[in-house]
Amino acid sequence: MTALRLGVDLGGTKTEAVVLRVLDDPRALPDVLARLRVPTGSEHGYAHIVANTRQLILDVTKAAGLTTMPPVGVGMPGSATTKDGATVVKNSNTVCLNGRPFQGDLAASLGAPVAFANDANCFALAEATFGAAAGARVAFGVIMGTGVGGGVVFAETSGALRVWDGAQGIAGEWGHIALEPVTGPACYCGRRGCVEKYLAGPAIERAYEARTGRRAALVDLAARAATDADAAAILGETLESFGRALAAVLCVLDPDIVVLGGGVSNLDLLYTAGVEAVSRWAFTDRLRTRIVKNALGDSAGVFGAALLPIAHPPAAEVRSEP
What residues pair up with 98 in beta bridges, in sequence order?
89
Coil vs helix vs strand at 143: strand
Q: List pLDDT tens digits, range 220-277.
A: 999 999 999 999 999 999 999 999 999 999 999 999 999 999 999 999 999 999 999 9
CATH C-level class of 3-121+299-320? alpha beta
DSSP letter at 87 equals E
pTM, two decimals, is: 0.89
Percent of the chain at pLDDT > 70 equals: 95
Q: What is the pLDDT of residues 145-178, one digit of tens each?
A: 988 999 999 999 888 899 998 888 889 999 999 9
Phi-psi region of 172 (alpha: psi -120 to 50; beta: other; left: phi over 0): left
pLDDT in tens, 168-204: 888 999 999 999 999 999 998 899 999 999 999 999 9
Q: What is the largest CA-CA distance in the chain?
A: 58
CATH architecture of 134-294: 2-Layer Sandwich (3.30)
Where is pLDDT greater, at 319 or 210?
Answer: 210
Domain ranges for the chain: 3-121+299-320, 134-294
**150, 166 Cβ separation under 8 angstroms:** no
Indicate if 134-294 has the same CATH topology as 3-121+299-320: yes
Distance, in Å, from the CA atom of 93 to the CA atom of 188, rounded to the nearest integer, reads: 7
